[in-house]
Structure 1
Amino acid sequence: GHKMLIDVMEKPEVLFPAHLTLEEAALKIQEKSEERFYDDIIVVRDHDKYFGTLSVRKLLEALTFRSLMLARDENPLTCLPGNWAIKRYIDEKISKNEKFDVIYIDLNNFKPFNDYYGFAKGDEVIVSLGEILKRIQRKYGCFVGHIGGDDFVVVCKPELSYKIASEIVEEFEKLLPYFHGEDYQKGFYISYNRKGEVQTFPLLSLSLAITGTSTRRIESYAHLASVASEVKSMAKQVAKTTGKSAIFEDRRMDQNGNLKSYYRGECGCEEDSLKSTEINWK
């Protein structure tokens, strides 16, 4: 007898929504079984309605081309996209009116660390932080970049930014015993400050500032960087006071509609145990 086509056709293992970015699609490919890895990708939209197909080869070619474009501006130490690649990526998202967060990351007291432990050790710290961000990129499908020196960025979905920031701190703090050696047990080291004076410094920590397009209108990459610099300054102040990593978010509104920055507390602990402090936006 006759059979329905749906009864004899091979069902696709994974459906790819049409709105996925190249990076997100590349991550989703990993869900396919090895024997069907190179089967054409089934693209859907509007509640899984068929939209078309795309060969894995075409997707990988597009991803490779994008990577090569970004590689024209990459940091030689971490091999992460550099300043111009970051600017292009963010300006493109702004032009499309996409909602996204940017996590700005930098090391606290990195200069005295370099002076005390040596520049080779300092380079190891930068490379290690870069590797942490690469793992974050693979896990969440976000964009990561190296602005320069000890400054990095992560561009991600707003709902993921705090989770990612916390994970970065957690992974970084696991490396502190290696970075500091015997000084790790003491919890400090003695080096020279910018004035050439002997000073006691805490162990390395991170300042993370989260801002984005979900709480304010951002006109350009330069505008975003300007907004972020204020949030970064607050994170730096807290980290300097506590001697530990700090995450600041520029996303809360008060009852009058004014923006507030939001300190999510000292990192390295579970989110539900964080002590939070609101600070009026100035």
Structure 2
Amino acid sequence: MTSTNGSFVSPQPNRTYKARIFEMVFSDKKELLELYNAVNGTHYDDPEDLVVNTLENAVYMSMRNDVSFIIDLRLNLYEHQSTYNPNLPLRFLMYAADIYSELTKDENLYGTKAIQIPTPRFVIFYNGEADHPDRKVLPLSALYTVPDEAPSLELTAVMLNINKGRNGRLMEACKTLKDYAEYTFRVRSYAKESPIEAAVERAITECIREGILSDFLSRNRAEAKKVSIYEYDEEKHIRQTREEGWEDGKQEGLREGKQEGIQQGIQQTKSEDIAKMMKALNMTADRAMEILEIPENEREEYLSKLPE
């Protein structure tokens, strides 16, 4: 919304989501500006130039973006993903529409004067375990049911792989991002040989000692540990449900010997997975379906099939 002095003020609904380490680290304007400069090759040095307007469940309970801000008359929407999600361009479109609605709510949209709006940029920071290139462009038009060589509505999001060892130039330009990649790498590596609690504690202790995200981890040690454990458990659960559960559904359909049976088996398994995630990870049905990449237009059907 717009205040009396013309500056943008973000909506202030209740926080009903769990924070992520990436969000926590880059909620600091100084760190966010460093990240912006690294991504865009710019050299801004005043964090107050940033006007943060991150959506926090402003319209839909299941909709929020990780980081949104305006600088140099550009609207930047950043998302962090540990699971590849091809639907992010559509979600970005919805986020941008909500922000533009707030920015122009007091303007005369029906007048003859053109209303100026900040130029959007959409960036996804990916650090999942599935292999993806350093840079990948995701167009909204890829989701259209009917391909169009010149779509009337297009939106392109850039996905940057921020795992350790990837996008070297970007990492060197933003030490905090490089440190984040190193910390995440250590947690995952240590979790393969120790319980996750011990793995996170070891990673935090080492990183503080070696100057890796040391200020952030020192100030937020307890919360960072809790969030890291939650994130790892969530990733592990998602991976298991996809690799095991959905394959079981497919095999059940194959035993029935028909395509319809395959689809029914997968749908039933997905419904069970949604319920398991809601219970095991204490999340809403919308959040579970978002993580499992179930399209918006199918979610009502899945809600009706959830086990009691």
Q: TM-score, normalised by structure 2?
A: 0.25
Between structure 1 and structure 2, the one with the greater Rg is 1
Higher helix share: 2
